[in-house]
Structure 1
């Protein structure tokens, strides 16, 4: 036990030394561990959710922050960003994803950004810079709390899931995000006509090993599994989307299919140490939902029903299994 504590302390010290020695001289806008050792902001407590205001691109914006019950200001903490769906808000996403309930999460901090007009960058005709908004949130969070820079991840629903893909394809933030898990994602491509199974998917990721875990229902009538025209842009088929990520990550286009539950399979790409770097969970008879075996705001809508599996613990396990390496997480500092 003593050796474990010493190892953790050494790792923390290493992060602090490198961040302090390298970040400041180069004039970077953030220090990954600047918030370590600080008391919680006024009015916040362990296990609490707080609404926070932030200026970004000349706009006053906001996000909800959940401080996990096990947060310790001297131990770098995992951070999850969770983006709401179109025409929803940060609070509805918090209630939907279950990432703040003790049954699933007591250790990771969760941030729920609020979209302008309940929309996200990447949705047709949306011009707001949510990549910069996310960057500003990360810089602020890392200045206030002790965040583990190797365990910054993102998930989201629908349009928010589509924005996760934008983060994964951003040349800078893709190197800051350890892993992403979009749910019922809307991955718009501005092209016409729409060849959903072959459309070129633009991406400028800054690395070639981005862990990507997607979820989609076969009965999704909002963002169809087989893609097609929507809002005068093109949605790829979900098999094309996930296969494209596998190829981009150097895993090839062949997958292993594993039954998970009734009417539910997992398509997994990669071999050896890269097994499961890219995955898709598909349940054939659920709709545009956050998969859950318990009632939620998605599956209680008319014509919907509970899923045969729960996405939330799968997402948390995926995030835990795919941290950035120490060198990767410090690359932006260097």
Structure 2
């Protein structure tokens, strides 16, 4: 994948003819507010909320893709939007950007997503209800719904990919600096092993999965380790497991330099499973070529590329594939 084709991919996203449309298409009950961040309560549960942004090219008669992005621990939808810039017309003119709000689980003093042991709320169900509400209100291309996120929010994106209900509606998954919590403390806390078991039963083996990680990540180390009393997996092992679930080679079939320090590892020709190594000096960050809230907080160096551009181009390669009943449980 080369970023030089990025503008053409974005244009194609808005011109696909055979789009799977939602019931909100041709709905004229209210004029949409374009290019503004709007926060709403979830219709099915007033205690939960999310923020959305309609792109400038949104048309109630033309199905639009959705990208849903999850913030990290102690963060918010606004901070995530400021970080990933999916609602910036420099990168996105066609996709509806959605930012859910996490909750504070009982016994915790910080907002987080389902995944860590203490986070017992049903955020997969919450996500499905968000999609139900958006598809009823707006003209959505139900074959081009995508998920991304940062840190513990990225870890939750991994859960969405592993769940047969959510991956039946979401076409592709792109977590960044993922903290992939296994959701249990099984006695390994004194000695984390290389292959930390992460529950995953996607019931299909054609799930596009892209992950970014830096070598200087101290919160979700690339080699895994103990964090919040749970063992995080080694990221390269975690990606090999995704290749195995998708019935691909367990070693990259193509490796090339994205920049002089960042490296792309693809597990098939299409990049269905792809791992981008951000470089040795990139920390727990959303990779950007300039300072951003992540680099300032972590006192780390900017990356040599822009993850948002890469993600948007990569999403453009995939639409929702029907389950292939491979019963993958790796």
Question: So what's the TM-score if we normalise by structure 2?
Answer: 0.86
Q: What is the CA–CA distance in structure 1 between the aligned matches of 2:173 and 2:129, rounded to whole Å?
A: 19
- C-alpha distance after superposition, 1:234-271 (max 9, x if no partner): 10000011111011100021102211112211111014
Equivalent of 2:219, from 205, 219, 222?
222
C-alpha separation in 2, matches of 1:278 and 1:48: 33
Once the two structures are superposed, residues 63-101 of structure 1 have per-residue CA deviations (whole angstroms, 9 ceiling, x without a partner) of: 001000000111110000000011000100010001111
Instruction: State the secondary structure of the residue aligned to 2:294.
Output: coil
Q: CA deviation at 1:300?
A: 2.1
Residue 51 (str. 1) matches residue 39 (str. 2): yes
**Structure 2: stretches of 5+ with no match in the other structure:** 1-11, 105-110, 324-330
- The answer for the alignment partner of 2:326 in structure 1 is none
State whether residues 43 and 133 of structure 2, in contact with CA within 8 Å, keep that contact through their aligned partners in structure 1: no
How many equivalent residue pairs? 299
Displacement of 1:55: 4.7
Q: 2:27 aligns with which of 33, 38, 50?
A: 38
| Change over 3 Å in CA distance of 1:72–1:218 after alignment to 2 | same
Residue equivalent to 2:200: 203
1:172 alignment partner, one of 159, 165, 169: 165
Instruction: Name 2:311's counterpart in structure 1.
Output: 315
Match in the other structure for 1:159: 152
Per the alignment, residue 147 of structure 1 pairs with 140
1:270 is matched with which residue?
Answer: 268
The answer (yes or no) to whether the contact 1:124–1:231 under 8 Å persists in 2 is no
| CA RMSD, 1 decimal | 2.0
- Secondary structure at the aligned position of 2:51 is classed as strand
Query: Are the equivalent residues in 1 in contact too, given 2:38–2:53 (CA < 8 A)?
Result: yes
Task: Report SS of the residue matched to 1:300.
Answer: helix
Shift of 1:59: 5.5
Q: Distance in 1 between matches of 2:114 and 2:239?
A: 20
SS of corresponding position for 2:94: coil
Q: Is the 8 A contact 2:283 2:298 kept in 1?
A: no
Q: Which residue of 1 aligns with 2:3?
A: none
Looking at structure 1, the residues matched to 146 and 161 of structure 2 have their Cα atoms a distance apart, in angstroms, of 10
Deviations 1:184-218 (A, max 9, x none): 00111223315442222221113211000000110
Whole-angstrom CA distance in 1 between matches of 2:259 and 2:197: 32
1:292 corresponds to which residue? 288
- 1:238 and 1:41 map into 2 onto residues whose CA distance is 45
Structure 2 matches for 1:21-170, cutoff 5 A?
33-39=22-28, 41=30, 44-56=32-44, 60-117=47-104, 118-170=111-163
TM-score of the aligned structures, taking structure 1 as reference length: 0.85
**SS in structure 2 of the partner of residue 137 of structure 1:** helix
Name stretches of at least 5 consecutive residues in structure 1 with no aligned partner: 16-31, 329-334
SS of residue matched to 2:40: strand
Deviation at 1:324, TM superposition (A): 1.5
Judge conservation of contact 1:179–1:212 (CA < 8 Å) in 2.
yes
Specify the alignment match of 1:25 in structure 2.
none
Q: Relative contact order (alpha carbons < 8 A, sep ≥ 6): 1 or 2 greater? A: 2
Q: Write the distance in 2 (CA, Å) between the matches of 1:302 and 1:85.
A: 14
Question: Per the alignment, do residues 85 and 40 of structure 1 end up closer, same or farther by CA in structure 2, a change over 3 Å counting?
Answer: farther
